Structure 1
Amino acid sequence: MENEVTLKRFLEIRRELGHTQAEFAALLGVSNTTADIERGRTKLSGKVITELLKQFKVNPLWLFGESEQKYLETSHTSVIPKVVTVDASDNENMVLVNAKAAAGYPQNISDTSWYRQLPAFDLPIPEFRNATYRGFQVEGDSMLPNLHPGEWVLARAIEHIDHVSPNKMYVVVLQDSVMVKKIEKRPNSNNITLVSLNETYPPYNIKPFQIQEIWEVGSKITFNVDATTDSGLLRQLQASMEELKNQLQHVKKV
């Protein structure tokens, strides 16, 4: 039977990662549920310990109560693109990931053949030189009013999580999803906070190792541009007011 510290810490990791016993069992390759491990009925196998280290960077020494460092390599997590695509002339091009493709992106992130199904193009504009860019389609309304569902963002690859700014938006590729968020890192905290611009979506915390890639949003492509947006209406109103003023002045002179 495992010692109480190990059982307590195994349970702590599962809860911290937000998985049920069945979900955690599936991730770790354990049949059915982790309940027996947590109750001390089943020994924590080498395979499970390896998966905890490989998938979640859990320090085995911490798990057995011999270290206070829970995670390994949290400050050195690589978030650079796993695959970069080039055109026939060996020039790097910009891959477009639509909302449908984004659903499979995290699982195929290192599969070079998967990227061939995605459209790609070269954008001959100086701002898009000397860096790796990718286009992502916005899904959902969590970044309203800045980004609307169906719009596209063009984003630059970030090498390290320390390079993020709280004033910018990012495409964050997690182990199971792709989303556009602001990123906040609090001092003396192991957590990364993902923040939506739409205040109906509460911020939530993740661990650095859960991030596979980060792309800094630099511009967006929008369609169905409407001349009667709020700013357009405001300009029309201002023009009408100026015209009214001119008419009044003309009346006074007469």
Structure 2
Amino acid sequence: MSILSENLRYLRAQLKSSQQKIADDLIITRGRYAKYEENESEPPLELLLKISRYFHVSIDLLVSVDLRRFPLDELLQLPDNRILLPVLVDHTGENAIEIIPNKASMGYLNGYNDPQYIESLQHISLPFLRNGKYRAFPAEGDSMPPFKDGTYIVGKYVEKIQDMKVGKTYLLVTRSGFVYKRLAGIEDHSIRVQSDNTFFEPYDIPLHEMLEAWEYECSILRDYDLLDFANNDVKGMFLSLKQDINRLEKYLVR
């Protein structure tokens, strides 16, 4: 068995997934994927890159390191193993804030590190969000009041799990989709999250299920009627501007 084939078998076992499930996610046949695990053939470079992104393990590690000999969670934290985050900039060179379409979690999971997919997204720029990389995700459900369906959570990209802080809220991208939760704790192999709605019980997310973490910065209602910013000064500025616009509209009507 080659290192690649052994690693594929090992990573699939960690996900407790079937060959059919992974083949479906990679958009290939189960028989083709099985040949890679049995070392009967090798995937072409384009598919190998796709497999690397799927398991969130660099190609170098996939083909040269026996992953069974090392704690997988530690390997995922190595700088050389980091999957580069595609960054979109506007015409002035400022980082743009990509807006993930509502109910598009599966599309994002397949394209979150694909520059072409990221480039295809609508985007906005907010002048007070400059230091860091930001992205806007749709909120769903009622587990994190006051945010409801139609609200967009703007988050700042978190480079490492160790940089996350207990008590803060995060938009978490997992292999199953998006969740917006408050961080309750960090363990060796998982993180514990909880909802602000006490009806929902806290639960653990294994680190190997984590793809991205975005720390909450602000929220935007879908109709842009109100922005809820962490910075109260900025929030007050927008509310004052809105009041001035309303007064101006009344004056023009008269």
Q: Same fold (TM over 0.5)?
A: yes
Once the two structures are superposed, the pairs formed by residues 22-101 of structure 1 within 5 Å of their partners are 22-24=20-22, 31=30, 54=52, 55=55, 61=66, 63=68, 67=69, 69=71, 73-76=75-78, 82-101=85-104
- Relative contact order higher in (CA < 8 Å, ≥ 6 apart): 1
Distance of aligned partners of 1:61 and 1:105 in 2 relative to their CA distance in 1, 3 Å threshold: closer
Please point out which of 106, 109, 116 is paired with 2:109.
106
**Counterpart-to-counterpart distance in 2, 1:69 and 1:46:** 27
Partner of 2:119: 116
Partner of 1:158: 158
Quote the offset at 1:109 in angstroms. 1.6
Distance of aligned partners of 1:10 and 1:115 in 2 relative to their CA distance in 1, 3 Å threshold: closer
Quote the offset at 1:16 in angstroms. 4.4
Larger Rg over CA atoms: 1
Identity of aligned residues (%): 21
Q: Does 1:192 align with 2:194?
A: no
2:30 aligned counterpart, secondary structure: coil
Structure 1 counterpart of 2:213, which letter?
I
CA contact (8 A) 2:99 2:136 kept: yes
Distance of aligned partners of 1:130 and 1:17 in 2 relative to their CA distance in 1, 3 Å threshold: same
* Per-residue deviation, residues 45-101 of structure 1 (Å, max 9, x unmatched): 6859x99x94265996464xxx46455513337778711111112222222113234
1:221 aligned counterpart, secondary structure: strand
* Per-residue deviation, residues 103-136 of structure 1 (Å, max 9, x unmatched): 31121122222233322122123xx122222211
Distance of aligned partners of 1:21 and 1:193 in 2 relative to their CA distance in 1, 3 Å threshold: farther
**Counterpart-to-counterpart distance in 1, 2:157 and 2:39:** 38
- Cα RMSD (Å) of the superposition? 4.1
Distance of aligned partners of 1:190 and 1:152 in 2 relative to their CA distance in 1, 3 Å threshold: same
Aligned residues: 206
Distance of aligned partners of 1:93 and 1:74 in 2 relative to their CA distance in 1, 3 Å threshold: closer
Q: Mind listing any 5+ residue stretches in structure 2 that lack a counterpart?
A: 226-254
**Counterpart-to-counterpart distance in 2, 1:80 and 1:195:** 27
CA contact (8 A) 1:95 1:119 kept: yes
Partner of 1:133: 134
Higher helix share: 2
Quote the offset at 1:26 in angstroms. 5.1
Q: Mind listing any 5+ residue stretches in structure 1 that lack a counterpart?
A: 36-41, 226-254
Please point out which of 6, 14, 17 is paired with 2:15.
17
Structure 2 counterpart of 1:96, which letter?
I
CA contact (8 A) 2:190 2:204 kept: no
Quote the offset at 1:44 in angstroms. 6.4
Q: Does 1:147 align with 2:147?
A: yes
Distance of aligned partners of 1:79 and 1:68 in 2 relative to their CA distance in 1, 3 Å threshold: closer
**Counterpart-to-counterpart distance in 2, 1:114 and 1:25:** 21
**Counterpart-to-counterpart distance in 1, 2:134 and 2:67:** 39
Partner of 1:205: 205
**Counterpart-to-counterpart distance in 2, 1:181 and 1:221:** 17
CA contact (8 A) 1:194 1:206 kept: no
CA contact (8 A) 2:153 2:218 kept: yes
Partner of 1:251: none
**Counterpart-to-counterpart distance in 1, 2:23 and 2:119:** 33
Quote the offset at 1:163 in angstroms. 0.6
Distance of aligned partners of 1:195 and 1:19 in 2 relative to their CA distance in 1, 3 Å threshold: farther
Distance of aligned partners of 1:69 and 1:172 in 2 relative to their CA distance in 1, 3 Å threshold: closer
Distance of aligned partners of 1:171 and 1:206 in 2 relative to their CA distance in 1, 3 Å threshold: same
Relative to the length of structure 1, the TM-score reads: 0.61
Quote the offset at 1:146 in angstroms. 3.6
